[in-house]
Amino acid sequence: MATNGNYIREKARDTKVMRQCDVVVVGGGPGGIGAAVAAARNGADTVLIERYGHLGGMGTGGLVTIIPQLADLTGKQQIAGITQEWIDRLAARNAVDMPKKEHWGSLDKELVQYYFKRSFFYARLDRVSYAALIDAEISKIILNEMMEEAGVKVILHAWGTEPIMDGKHCKGVIFESKSGRQAILAKVVIDSTGDGDLFPYADIECETDIPAHYRIANLAVCFWVAGVDHKKMMDFRDNNMKEFMDLMRKANEYGGQGGFMTSNLPDQESVVWFHSRYPNKSQTDVEELTRVEILGHKIAGKTIEFYRKNVPGFEKAFLVLTDPQLGTRSSRRMVGEYWLTEKDLSNNQPFEDTIATFPDLDRGDDSLAHPNMYIPYRSLLPKNVDNFFVACRAFSSDKHVQDYFNLIPHCIAFGEAAGTASAMALSAGVPIKKVDIKALQKQLAKQGVPLPDVTKKVDYKYEGPALVGRPFTPPH
């Protein structure tokens, strides 16, 4: 066999073209959903390929069933568009839980306390926060419906692995499936793999360093436990906080996991949710993914053993599910046409090409001074490829920006902008880098995306009360 040291020669071949289309989106997580729906609704013939059998990525398969940080500290909703549509469709099925609209941004201590107790995600900066806990299974169906209505051609169980490059142009992608290796050719390619899986093959400049103490440095193995006697558990926790905390510590010592969150969804009182952090060397290293996956399952098993024996309310509890997708938080980050960096975390002036606004809620006093983060269109564009978008957490950002702004609603917003821009560029017959930004912003606004007035000079100073609560790092 022709082996060259640690390499083996793979022969040239002709790979079957399954389809030709306008826009191909690789990855059906939040970024890919936003991208595919927006591209198709704006008239592009769109194909979405997804590795698993469901859409939603971390929001469904990762059991990260939380869409947080939708309103800023004043309670003004800043992320809407396709994210809000997803939530509205869940609400119509009674499959979502969130603070009431009239409470968003409220500083009322009792209210904040009430919501915080209900979910850790419902309070930020001493205020009630707009975050939605979602039903993963119903979400999978809703997302399928949204694709079908928009006319997206979805291919599930298909792993998009490589771009087909021709100099500065990306002609399509190769994917693997039970039908074998095939190609999809497209005029615009959108990388929504979360990890920028297409970058290495397209020579797209990226960074991968993540300091160990950052949230995004960790993998997660989320799992659900059902059969919990909710009332018994809550009574015990409320009346014996010290004992409860002691038990949580002992659960960790036992090799399990202390600390969990309640499901909060209608009729799902018996379900609790365990979220976790596993340090690792790299989230694109398959050996590390394997190691953490095995460790996570072991810990889930120990957790259920310990809780059943020791924690009131868990006597009949059982492990329903460990996440079908390993919880990844960050890996490759593009260095694109505009690179969002630490200095942008204190910039209150929107970019001329702003395509999304993200509430800044997790950085304590720094957040008070910088209530919103603005995302320029250019942060979705690589420098070296002319028809390629990055619409996922691999957007152009340094580790500081990435640590706070790579969550589910953020990725949907990247996707909505990229998908809309793709379709507009194609119908205008211009390259995506030359798309009319004002027209794009107008179209996004029409789709319900809140955008700032980019012409106005901003002179912002926080004038509210000083923070009482300590800022904390959220677990998502």
Q: Residue 323 class from Cβ within 10 Å (0-12 exposed, 13-18 middle, 19+ buried)?
A: buried
Site for other proteins in 361-390 (CB under 8 A): none
Using DSSP, state whether 170 is helix, strand or coil: strand
Candidates 67, 39, 25, 179; CA nearest to 410 is 67
Cβ neighbors of 400 (< 8 A, separation 6 or more) are 341, 342, 345
Quote the Cα angle for 277-137-263, to 5°: 55
Q: In the bound complex, what is the minimum distance in angstroms from residue 290's beta carbon to other proteins?
A: 4
Outline where DSSP puts E strands in 39-93.
46-49, 66-67
Task: Pick one of 26, 29, 54, 215: the residue that binds other proteins (CB under 8 A).
Answer: 54
- The region of 207-215, 272-280, 281-289, 402-410 touching other proteins under the rule CB under 8 A is 281-289
Cα torsion at 305, 308, 311, 317 (round to 10°)? 120
Distance (Å, whole) CA 354 – CA 181 = 38
Is residue 179 at the binding interface for other proteins, with CB under 8 A as the rule? yes
Looking at the Cβ atoms of 202 and 375, the one nearer to other proteins is: 202
Is residue 203 at the binding interface for other proteins, with CB under 8 A as the rule? no
Task: Pick one of 44, 164, 417, 423: the residue that binds other proteins (CB under 8 A).
Answer: 164
Q: In the bound complex, what is the minimum distance in angstroms from residue 69's beta carbon to other proteins?
A: 26
Compute φ and ψ for 386, nearest 5 degrees.
-95, -5
Is residue 139 at the binding interface for other proteins, with CB under 8 A as the rule? no
Using DSSP, state whether 420 is helix, strand or coil: helix
Helix (H) or strand (E) holding 374: strand 372-376
Helix (H) or strand (E) holding 175: strand 169-176
Is residue 12 at the binding interface for other proteins, with CB under 8 A as the rule? yes
Site string for other proteins, 310-349 (x = CB under 8 A): ------x-xxxxxxxxx----x------------------
Is residue 214 at the binding interface for other proteins, with CB under 8 A as the rule? no
- The region of 179-187, 249-257, 344-352, 368-376 touching other proteins under the rule CB under 8 A is 179-187
Is residue 257 at the binding interface for other proteins, with CB under 8 A as the rule? no
Contact 50, 430 (CB under 8 A): no
Site for other proteins in 258-277 (CB under 8 A): 265, 267-268, 270
DSSP lists the bridge partners of residue 211 as: none
Looking at the Cβ atoms of 177 and 348, the one nearer to other proteins is: 177
Number of residues in contact with other proteins, rule: CB under 8 A?
82
Site string for other proteins, 119-138 (x = CB under 8 A): ----------------x-xx
Compute φ and ψ for 220, nearest 5 degrees.
-130, 145
Q: In the bound complex, what is the minimum distance in angstroms from residue 175's beta carbon to other proteins?
A: 9
Looking at the Cβ atoms of 52 and 374, the one nearer to other proteins is: 52
Q: In the bound complex, what is the minimum distance in angstroms from residue 372's beta carbon to other proteins?
A: 33
Looking at the Cβ atoms of 212 and 286, the one nearer to other proteins is: 286
